């Protein structure tokens, strides 16, 4: 009971037979969606980005543990997570940055590149939604620091067509680091 | 009785040169000097009780997590006896780390280097090829166990110390216990973690986080101003709307001999808002029913009322500890967050683990009472994640501040300027305040943080 309440809805599986081939119209549309999204976020067009979200959004980033090879599938924890968001809380995160003068964690803002690769698109059985897996390497430069904070992750998204346009309905962010190597996840992944 | 020492740094600077006890100033250099860091690890983290986690993280025999006591990795494990044991996570054979996992379950911790094996309680089981006796005959098996720390469990929290013959945990808590009981020991079944802790790295000295954790109220007004701009503390239209966190600064601040401190923020405004009544006309029970402590429902209240003295209940209904620290590196939050679903309590615990003079690991646990209904637990967890820890909208601002202080501590000039703690309570004792310890009443001040530095200095200059 508690686990069900604490944990996000399980994502549908990525079934090989449902793979939408690279280069197809749908694949290209998804790719454009991800590229455009990255551009909006990199350029602080957060209000515009928020319009890409569905009202039933689930947006999560599980914790990770170092465990043995045989326990590789047990390295994620989805009760306490780094991000555990819904539509309302994501809008609050956006508003904190766009509507206040004191979101110091990102003011002045980091210079960020969201490098999106390894994109795979799947049809979902009994649904018109698309499941999209992608790699994201976020590079974050803060102040005059001469190093970059790197946030590599895999994203499992559910995209849904609403009024003809693709929207983000689910995102699960699987981070590589057990101990996150940047002072906060005040940036959108 | 401790003899006093005054450590001298290699350039001749005395520790006493870095702190002015009269004017309540600390030189920036103290924040991130590498020699001081080594001393801190020996004189503070290897001496006091250090918070490591919660016993509900390891409910079953053989369960373990790997944690840090200062700069040392330790195994926190539940043994065959059902008790929690803490041992140095270093093989007594050649110094290899025993467990390279974060979490797991085993009754036999086997070092991957030469195969020496240990029980969850740290006892040496043996080495491979028993008949050839790899460990020799000069030392007994009893002597070859993992180095064991002394453990105390309090309200489910696990503390440990290397100071085997040192002060008891109760002595360490001192006057703070009267208050801490109202946080950690509120129900018969006790609390539980809602999952493993979040962990992330900040390039800042541990003391930047920890001196703030000693109940710095002032920073909230500026650094966390967003809370009143668009966040949950934006005042309702009936109170004028807009952003002003000043009302959250009033209450009582408590600071104790061992630098455990807390801000007991007044609930009267929230209770007035919830009930439409003057809180002074309500009984303690009525106030607690209107605004129960975080994680407590009105149905759970009779148990809470039974467990505490009238004086403690008065504080819980009026000015409960909401944020504070346990020395040296723990922070707790028991906050009441206004939300569309009413006021939701959030309970979180942080450890700021020192990782060298210029780096700390922020470890964040989110908790609830075991008896808290699952729906409420889920709400508490979500709000906790949204406001605190890795992505927390409140604490991401802190995490961006501490690195700048750490850098400033290295400037040839700026390392000599001082951090000042000169805002002082003038009335030290509120008439009729029922709790022990040093107490300040009214608008937040610096006394709690100054106590943190006083005790830091006391430990750093103590010589056994």
pLDDT above 90 for A2: no
Q: Do B400 and A184 touch (CB under 8 A)?
A: yes
Same domain, B148 and B192: no
Q: How far is CA B426 from CA B420, B440, B442, B452, in A?
A: 17, 8, 10, 19
CA angle, residues A116, A117, A119, in degrees to nearest 5: 110
Same domain, B330 and B358: yes
Range B231-250 average pLDDT: 78
Domain boundary among B162, B187, B207: B162
Residue B265 lies in a domain: yes
Same domain, B116 and B208: no
H or E segment to which residue A34 belongs: helix A25-42
Strands B19-20 and B150-154: unpaired
pLDDT tens digits for range A102-134: 899 999 999 999 999 999 999 999 999 999 999
The whole-number pLDDT of residue A150 equals 98
Q: Is the torsion defined by CA of A18, A24, A30, A35 positive or negative?
A: positive
What the block records as the tokens of A140 is: 């974050």
pLDDT tens digits for range B331-342: 999 999 988 888
pLDDT tens digits for range A150-188: 999 999 999 999 999 999 999 999 999 999 999 999 999
Range B66-85 average pLDDT: 97
Domain boundary among B114, B134, B162: B162
Same domain, B61 and B143: yes
What the block records as the tokens of A79 is: 């009760």
Residue B1's pLDDT band (cuts 50, 70, 90): very low
- Do B324 and B295 contact (CB within 8 A), yes or no? no
Judged by a CB distance cut-off of 8 A, whether residue A101 touches chain B is yes
What the block records as the tokens of B397 is: 């601002």
Residue B3's pLDDT band (cuts 50, 70, 90): low
- In A115-174, the residues whose Cβ lies within 8 Å of chain B are 142
Same domain, B298 and B431: yes
- Give the structural domain span for B125: 50-162
pLDDT above 70 for B290: yes
Q: Do A186 and B391 touch (CB under 8 A)?
A: yes
Contacts of B413 (CB under 8 A, 6+ apart): none
| Å between A144 CA and nearest CA of chain B | 11
Residue B75 bridge partners (DSSP) = B66, B87
- Above pLDDT 70, what percent of chain B? 98
d(CA B105, CA B60) in angstroms, rounded, equals 8
Residue B234 lies in a domain: yes
Same domain, B252 and B317: yes
H or E segment to which residue A150 belongs: strand A149-162
What the block records as the tokens of B3 is: 């003899």
Domain boundary among B162, B195, B224: B162
d(CA B194, CA B346) in angstroms, rounded, equals 12
pLDDT tens digits for range B342-353: 899 999 999 999
Whose CA is closest to B167, among B20, B275, B327, B14?
B327
- Do A183 and B203 contact (CB within 8 A), yes or no? yes
Interface test mutation site (partner B, options A63, A77, A80, max chain B beta carbons within 10 A): A80
- Do B52 and B330 contact (CB within 8 A), yes or no? no
Residue B97 lies in a domain: yes
Whose CA is closest to B215, among B74, B327, B293?
B327
Residue A20's pLDDT band (cuts 50, 70, 90): very high
- Do B151 and B159 contact (CB within 8 A), yes or no? yes
CATH number at residue B339: 3.90.380.10
pLDDT above 80 for A1: no
Same domain, B202 and B81: no
- Do B150 and B157 contact (CB within 8 A), yes or no? no
pLDDT tens digits for range B370-401: 999 999 999 999 999 999 999 999 999 999 89
Higher pLDDT: B241 or B15? It is B15
Structurally, chain B folds into a number of domains equal to 2
Residues in B touching A92 (Cβ below 8 Å) = 230-231, 386, 393
Whose CA is closest to B74, among B58, B208, B60?
B58
Total beta-carbon pairs less than 8 A apart between chain A and chain B? 143
Residue B431's pLDDT band (cuts 50, 70, 90): confident
d(CA A174, CA A152) in angstroms, rounded, equals 9
d(CA B332, CA B322) in angstroms, rounded, equals 8
Q: Do A184 and B375 touch (CB under 8 A)?
A: no
Same domain, B349 and B420: yes
Range B240-246 average pLDDT: 76
The whole-number pLDDT of residue B231 equals 83
d(CA B461, CA B4) in angstroms, rounded, equals 6
Same domain, B375 and B278: yes
- Do A148 and A140 contact (CB within 8 A), yes or no? yes
pLDDT above 70 for B2: no
Judged by a CB distance cut-off of 8 A, whether residue A67 touches chain B is yes
What SS3 state is found at A92? helix
| Å between B374 CA and nearest CA of chain A | 5
Of the candidates B231, B365, B374, the beta carbon closest to that of A5 is on B374
Q: Is the torsion defined by CA of B238, B239, B240, B245 positive or negative?
A: negative
Residue B45 lies in a domain: no
Same domain, B201 and B105: no
Residues in B touching A102 (Cβ below 8 Å) = 222-226, 229, 397
The whole-number pLDDT of residue A186 equals 95
Same domain, B315 and B229: yes
d(CA B403, CA A147) in angstroms, rounded, equals 14
Q: How far is CA B223 from CA A42, A97, A105, A142, in A?
A: 24, 14, 9, 18
Of the candidates B194, B231, B375, the beta carbon closest to that of A80 is on B194
Q: Do B395 and A103 touch (CB under 8 A)?
A: no
Residue B155's pLDDT band (cuts 50, 70, 90): very high
Residue B464's pLDDT band (cuts 50, 70, 90): low
Interface test mutation site (partner A, options B98, B341, B385, max chain A beta carbons within 10 A): B385
DSSP character at residue A156: E
- The 3-state secondary structure of chain B reads CCEECCCECCCCCEHHHHEECCCCEEECHHHHCHHHHHHHHHHHHCCCCEEEEEHHHCCCCCEEEEEEECCEEEEEEECCCCCEEEEECECCCCCCECCCCCEEECCCEECCCCCCEECCCCCEEECCCHHHCCCCCCCCHHHHCCCECEEEEECCEEEEECCCCCCCHHHHHCCHHHHHHHHHCCCCCCEEECCCCEEEEECCCHHHHHHHHCCCCHHHHHHCCHHHHCCCCCCCHHHCCCCCCHHHHEEEEEECCCCCEEEEECCHHHHHHHHCCCHHHCCHHHHHHHCCCCCCCHHHHHHHHHHCCHHHHHHHHHCCEEEEEECCCEEEEEEEEEECCEEEEEEEEEEEEECCCCCEEEEEEEEEECCCCHHHHHHHHHHHHHHCCCCCCCHHHHHHHHHHHHHHCCCCCHHHCEEECCCCCCCCCCCCCCCCCEEEEEECCCHHHHHHHHHHHHHHCEEC
Whose CA is closest to A48, among A39, A58, A57, A61?
A39
The whole-number pLDDT of residue B428 equals 66
pLDDT tens digits for range B86-103: 999 999 999 999 999 999
CATH number at residue B109: 2.102.10.10
Residue A185 bridge partners (DSSP) = none
Residue B37 lies in a domain: no
Q: Do B223 and A93 touch (CB under 8 A)?
A: no
pLDDT tens digits for range B252-264: 999 999 999 999 9
Same domain, B205 and B311: yes
H or E segment to which residue A87 belongs: helix A87-98
| Å between B48 CA and nearest CA of chain A | 26
Whether residue A108 is preceded by a cis peptide bond, meaning omega within 30 degrees of 0, is yes
Q: Which domains does chain A have, with CATH numbers?
A: 21-175 (3.10.450.50)
Strands B50-54 and B157-161: antiparallel
DSSP character at residue A148: -
């Amino acid at each position: 009971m508690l686990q069900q309440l604490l944990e996000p809805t399980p994502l549908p599986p990525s079934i090989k037979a449902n793979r939408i081939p690279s280069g197809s119209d749908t694949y290209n549309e998804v790719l454009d969606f991800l590229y455009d999204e990255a551009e909006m976020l990199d350029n602080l067009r957060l209000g515009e980005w928020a319009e890409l979200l569905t009202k039933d959004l689930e947006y999560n980033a599980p914790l990770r543990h170092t465990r043995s090879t045989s326990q590789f599938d047990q390295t994620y924890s989805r009760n306490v997570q780094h991000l555990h968001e819904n539509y309302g809380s994501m809008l609050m995160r956006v508003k904190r940055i766009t509507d206040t003068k004191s979101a110091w964690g990102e003011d002045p803002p980091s210079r960020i590149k969201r490098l999106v690769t390894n994109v795979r698109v799947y049809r979902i059985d009994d649904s018109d939604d698309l499941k999209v897996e992608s790699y994201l390497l976020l590079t974050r430069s803060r102040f005059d620091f001469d190093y970059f904070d790197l946030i590599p992750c895999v994203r499992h998204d559910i995209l849904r067509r609403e009024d003809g346009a693709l929207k983000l309905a689910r995102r699960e962010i699987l981070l590589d680091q057990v101990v996150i190597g940047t002072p906060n996840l005040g940036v959108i992944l | 009785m401790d003899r006093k020492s005054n450590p001298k740094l290699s350039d001749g600077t005395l520790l006493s040169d870095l702190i002015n006890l009269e004017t309540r100033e600390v030189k920036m250099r103290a924040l991130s000097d590498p020699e001081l860091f080594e001393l801190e690890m020996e004189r503070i983290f290897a001496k006091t009780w250090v918070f490591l986690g919660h016993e509900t993280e390891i409910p079953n025999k053989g369960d373990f997590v790997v944690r840090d006591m200062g700069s040392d990795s330790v195994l926190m494990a539940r043994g065959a006896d059902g008790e929690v044991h803490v041992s140095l996570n270093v093989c007594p054979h050649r110094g290899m780390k025993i467990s390279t996992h974060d979490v797991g379950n085993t009754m036999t911790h086997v070092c991957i280097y030469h195969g020496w094996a240990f029980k969850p309680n740290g006892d040496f089981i043996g080495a491979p090829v028993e008949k050839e006796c790899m460990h020799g005959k000069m030392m007994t098996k009893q002597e070859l166990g993992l180095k064991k720390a002394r453990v105390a469990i309090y309200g489910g929290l696990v503390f440990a110390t290397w100071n085997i013959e040192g002060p008891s945990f109760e002595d360490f808590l001192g006057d703070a216990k009267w208050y801490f009981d109202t946080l950690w020991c509120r129900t018969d079944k006790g609390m539980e973690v809602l999952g493993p802790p979040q962990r992330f790295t900040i390039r800042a000295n541990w003391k930047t986080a920890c001196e703030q954790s000693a109940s710095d109220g002032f920073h909230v007004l500026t650094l966390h101003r967003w809370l009143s701009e668009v966040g949950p503390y934006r005042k309702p239209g009936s109170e004028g709307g807009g952003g002003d966190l000043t009302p959250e600064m009033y209450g009582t601040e408590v600071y104790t001999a061992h630098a455990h401190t807390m801000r007991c923020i007044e609930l009267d405004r929230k209770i007035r808002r919830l009930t439409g009544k003057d809180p002074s006309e309500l009984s303690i029970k009525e106030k607690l029913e209107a605004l129960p402590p975080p994680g407590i429902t009105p149905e759970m209240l009779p148990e809470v009322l039974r467990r505490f003295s009238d004086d403690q209940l008065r504080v819980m209904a009026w000015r409960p500890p909401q944020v504070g620290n346990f020395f040296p590196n723990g922070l707790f939050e028991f906050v009441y967050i206004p939300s569309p679903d009413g006021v939701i309590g959030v309970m979180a615990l942080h450890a700021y683990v020192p990782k060298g003079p210029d780096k700390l690991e922020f470890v964040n646990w989110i908790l609830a009472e075991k008896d808290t209904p699952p729906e409420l637990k889920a709400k508490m967890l979500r709000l906790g994640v949204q406001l605190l820890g890795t992505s927390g909208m409140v604490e991401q601002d802190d995490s961006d501040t501490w690195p700048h202080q750490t850098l400033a501590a290295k400037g040839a000039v700026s390392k000599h300027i001082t951090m000042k703690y000169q805002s002082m309570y003038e009335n030290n004792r509120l008439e009729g305040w029922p709790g022990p310890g040093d107490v300040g009443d009214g608008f937040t001040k610096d006394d709690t943080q100054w106590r943190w530095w006083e005790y830091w200095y006391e430990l750093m200059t103590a010589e056994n």
